Amino acid sequence: MNNSFKKYIVFWLSQALSQLGSSMTSFTLILWTYEKNGSAMTVSLMSFFNYIPYIIASLFAGSFVDSHNKKKIMLVSDTIAAFCSVIVFALSMRGELQIWNIYLVNFITGFMNAFQGPASTVVIGKIVPKGKIKQVSGMNSFSGNLVTVISPVLAASLFSFGGLPLIIIVDLASFSCAFVVLVFVLSIPEENKTKKDKFTMFSGSREGFVYLRSNHGIFMIILTMALLNFLSRLTYENILSPMILARSGNNYDILGLVNAAMGVGGIAGGIIVSSGRVKGNSIKMIYVSAMLSFLFGDVMMGLGRTRIVWSLAAVAASLPIAFINAGQMDLLYRNVPEEMQGRIFAARNALQFSTIPAGILMGGCLADYVLEPLMRTDTAPVKMLQHIVGTGAGSGMALMFLCTGLAGAVFSIISYQNKEIRRLKL
């Protein structure tokens, strides 16, 4: 193992530890919010207020990242996010925590993530050999999904013992460990910037978008992924928790099991990709994996009515994600010059994630105000749909999973045939 890859291992472990703490807090806040008013829309708004500032800030974050010290950007971003956790802790201890407080905190952390994300991505490109990018992407998927498995279990146990304040204490402790590693252990090479490289607010976004317009293959991948993000946020990363709770009688154990199964699928995918044995066409890896995720994940989740089927669907949906991420990162690192990576990744974030807020809001609205009320009616088409997805609370959300699964699978197949994408350097 060479020294650069050892650097990445240290960086990866520190970030995974920090992610575990923040994920536990996020999971607990979702349960707290849904328990407070039982609305899918309320949970959707938590994600909405996180993504909106992320997308806006991404318009100018790229040139800032390319022009400034990446380590300092990450440290400042993570510190502000930790300070937000301290605010939630203080309000919770005083019994004054409100849902709008969580929206505000999510808004601030979303803004900081717009800088932290591209900075972290550029750091990976600096310290990891190009030939190991797919392997590294698999390691990221492994750690992220391991957190998905562990965090609900730990959060539920600690929440029952010490409430939300204890969860946040663990979150802050994990942040502190990651902060120390980043400051005292990890060294990141930085280029010397000339005057012409100095930051101007929107110069980077303009350069990033100009580059994308002249590189149609990369641009088309980002646009197709934007639509797939929209479909996934309508359901999986938006109304999954409300649907499982509604269909299981607010059984948190079942919800924890489904979340854990999703993490297990992601871990399996991450292990396969990080093994270094995944070779071949990255374009095929992206779109075939996306098709399988939608077809076997979303469709099965919509048709399922038991914890076993939901868990199998969660595995089927999450396992291919590691392959999608690995394929995309491999193409981007191969086709984007290193000196422009911060700007391109920020522009990518602004475009690729711009559809997420719309998906989040539409998913919440469709669930609460359209499909859930519709599935309680007594018309002939509804009766036919009830034979497919079942009846009662959550059946409208199950229908949404069925629709996004079919639409996502079809669009993935169409995207794979795109000529501009197929011309990319592999």
Domain boundaries, the chain: 3-184+203-422
Inter-CA distances, 342 with 187, 337, 347, Å: 18, 10, 9
H/E stretch holding 204 reads helix 203-214
**Closest C-alpha among 131, 401, 134, 154 to residue 269:** 134
Angle at 96 between CA 92 and CA 97, to 5 degrees: 60
Task: Provide the CA 283 distance to its chain's centre, in angstroms.
Answer: 21
Read off the tokens for 136.
């590294």
Is 315 exposed, middle or buried, given 0-12, 13-18 or 19+ CB atoms closer than 10 A? buried
The CA distance from 145 to 319, in Å, is: 10
Output DSSP code: residue 330: H
The CA distance from 78 to 86, in Å, is: 13
- Orientation of helix 40-67 relative to helix 341-352, angle to 10°: 160
Beta strands in 150-223 (DSSP E): none
Name the CATH superfamily, with its identifier, for domain 3-184+203-422. Answer: MFS general substrate transporter like domains (1.20.1250.20)
Read off the tokens for 412.
């993935």
| pLDDT string in tens for the chain (426-residue length) | 556 667 677 777 777 778 888 888 887 887 777 777 766 677 778 878 888 888 777 777 766 777 778 888 888 888 998 898 899 899 988 888 888 898 998 899 888 888 887 787 777 767 666 666 666 777 777 777 677 677 777 887 777 777 788 888 888 888 888 888 778 776 666 665 544 445 455 555 667 777 777 778 888 888 899 999 999 888 876 788 889 988 888 887 788 788 888 888 888 888 888 776 767 788 888 999 999 999 999 999 999 889 999 999 999 998 998 889 888 888 877 777 776 766 777 777 778 888 888 888 888 888 888 998 999 898 988 899 999 988 888 899 999 999 999 999 999 999 888 888 877 765
pLDDT value at residue 188: 66
Read off the tokens for 424.
């990319």
pLDDT value at residue 303: 92
Coil, strand or helix at 353: coil
CB atoms within 10 A of CB 390: 17
**Closest C-alpha among 94, 123, 157 to residue 333:** 123
The CA distance from 80 to 71, in Å, is: 14
Output DSSP code: residue 339: G
CB atoms within 10 A of CB 149: 19
Name, in order, each residue with C-beta under 8 angstroms of 193's C-beta and a sequence gap of 6 or more. 67
Are 366 and 402 in contact by the 8 Å Cβ rule? The answer is no
The CA distance from 347 to 99, in Å, is: 31
Q: What's the pTM?
A: 0.69
Name, in order, each residue with C-beta under 8 angstroms of 296's C-beta and a sequence gap of 6 or more. 313, 316, 317
Name, in order, each residue with C-beta under 8 angstroms of 175's C-beta and a sequence gap of 6 or more. 18, 21, 22, 78, 81, 82, 85
The CA distance from 290 to 412, in Å, is: 6
pLDDT value at residue 237: 67
Coil, strand or helix at 225: helix
Inter-CA distances, 347 with 27, 55, 125, 202, Å: 29, 9, 17, 11
The CA distance from 288 to 232, in Å, is: 16
The CA distance from 325 to 241, in Å, is: 24
Is 161 exposed, middle or buried, given 0-12, 13-18 or 19+ CB atoms closer than 10 A? exposed
